[in-house]
């Protein structure tokens, strides 16, 4: 089994998110937030498979591709003639399958919205880590980059829909998820991979991205033990251990969290009210409170490094 744990700061530059998406909210708060959003537009029809509108209004806000991204990397010869048996010989084109675990950011919540009501929609097809809509020239995602090296890449999410929608595929992220939910998401992902006839479980190399923690921070002032840095690390380790034991030939991409308090710099009544609704622990803080909150964010990041969950490679050659 070959497992590589890494963080790529450059990947973070691909992410553009709205306050609701970046706050990644707990389920009870998420429901209250949606109720608030629905007041500003048509009623959204929801079920456990997808989030749609009837009839679908022009909530999507995709700019014209007048200035497409230029992908200048050489893609020739970047897939091994034979599948490598060690992560140290892995090339971009050797990745056959992608998967993702996380919260509303990875679910693409509000990522394609141009109206407030659109924030309630999960645009999984443009999720930064696993979205497969369009091409890399049009939509810069990690998946679309890898597709340049391997056009047959499988597992990407497309279009709009919830975690159980057919087009979500191996995007198992759930809006409102906490780090404690990663283990359950890992179980869901493994089950999907093992039961999909398009995947050679033993031979295909898999890239699984994990990005989680904003819900924990947003509730940290309510339960300091449950949302401590130590518990955060333990929750993620539990999920990673499960993936380690259940999947061969997997690269686990663990991404560290950003400083959520930066969202306080977004001004305007609409932004401030909704940020306070979905993340009260980080909104409108006094200087001492802000220092404590940012200190906890630092602890999350440091503990992930000290526990060798990011930046360090772990592997066992086949």
pLDDT at site 3? 40
Tokens of 179: 């780090």
Q: Is-contact 157 172, C-beta < 8 A?
A: no
Tokens coding 302: 């440091």
Query: What is the predicted pLDDT for the residue at 174?
Result: 94
Q: Residue 257: inside a domain, yes or no?
A: yes
Task: Tell me if 79 is assigned to some domain.
Answer: no
- Would you say residue 83 lies in a domain? no
pLDDT number for residue 32:
63
**What pLDDT does residue 2 have?**
41
| Structural domain includes residue 28 | yes
Cis ω for the linkage preceding 12 (within 30 of 0): no
Closest listed residue to residue 5, CA positions, set 187, 204, 240, 278: 240
User: Is 51 among the domain residues?
Assistant: yes
153 φ, ψ (degrees, to nearest 5): -55, 140
Q: What is the spatial distance between Cα 131 and Cα 262, in angstroms, rounded to a whole number?
A: 25
The values of phi and psi at residue 121, to 5°, are -100, 140
Mean pLDDT, contiguous 10-residue spans, the chain (318 residues): 34 30 46 59 46 50 69 90 92 97 93 77 93 91 95 95 92 95 98 97 96 92 93 95 95 89 73 75 85 91 81 41
- pLDDT score at 150: 96
Domain span at residue 139 reads 3-62+89-306
Single out the residue of 204, 150, 142 nearest to residue 171, CA to CA: 142
Helices (H) and strands (E) in the chain, counts: 10, 6
Is 272:283 a contact under the CB 8 Å cutoff?
A: yes
d(CA 28, CA 32): 7
Asked if residue 170 belongs to a domain, the reply is: yes
Residue 24 lies in a domain: yes
Residue 318 lies in a domain: no
Number of domains observed in the structure of the chain = 1
């Amino acid at each position: 089994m070959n497992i590589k744990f890494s963080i790529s700061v450059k990947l973070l530059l691909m992410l553009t998110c709205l306050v609701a998406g970046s706050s990644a909210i707990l389920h009870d708060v998420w429901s209250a937030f949606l109720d608030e959003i629905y007041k500003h537009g048509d009623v959204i029809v929801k079920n456990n498979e997808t989030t749609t509108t009837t009839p679908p209004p022009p909530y999507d806000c995709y700019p014209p591709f007048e200035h497409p991204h230029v992908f200048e990397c050489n893609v020739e010869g970047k897939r091994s003639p034979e599948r490598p048996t060690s992560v140290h010989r892995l090339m971009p084109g050797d990745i056959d399958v992608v998967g993702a675990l996380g919260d509303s950011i990875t679910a693409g919540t509000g990522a394609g919205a141009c109206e407030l009501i659109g924030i309630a929609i999960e645009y999984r097809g443009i999720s930064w880590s696993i979205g497969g809509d369009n091409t890399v020239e049009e939509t810069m995602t990690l998946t679309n980059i890898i597709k340049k090296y391997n056009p047959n890449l499988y597992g990407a999410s497309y279009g709009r829909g919830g975690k159980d929608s057919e087009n979500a595929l191996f995007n198992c992220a759930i809006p409102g998820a906490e780090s404690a939910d990663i283990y359950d998401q890992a179980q869901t992902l493994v089950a999907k991979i093992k039961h999909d006839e398009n995947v050679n479980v033993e031979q295909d190399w898999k890239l699984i991205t994990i990005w989680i923690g904003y819900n924990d921070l947003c509730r940290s002032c309510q339960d300091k033990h449950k949302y401590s840095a130590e518990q955060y690390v333990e929750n993620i380790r539990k999920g990673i251990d499960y993936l380690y034991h259940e999947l061969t030939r997997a690269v686990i991409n663990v991404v560290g969290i950003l400083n959520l308090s930066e969202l306080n710099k977004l001004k305007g009544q609409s932004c401030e009210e909704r940020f306070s609704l979905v993340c009260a622990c980080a909104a409108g803080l006094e200087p001492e409170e802000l220092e404590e909150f940012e200190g906890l964010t630092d602890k999350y990041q440091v503990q992930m490094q000290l526990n060798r969950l990011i930046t360090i490679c772990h592997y066992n050659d086949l």
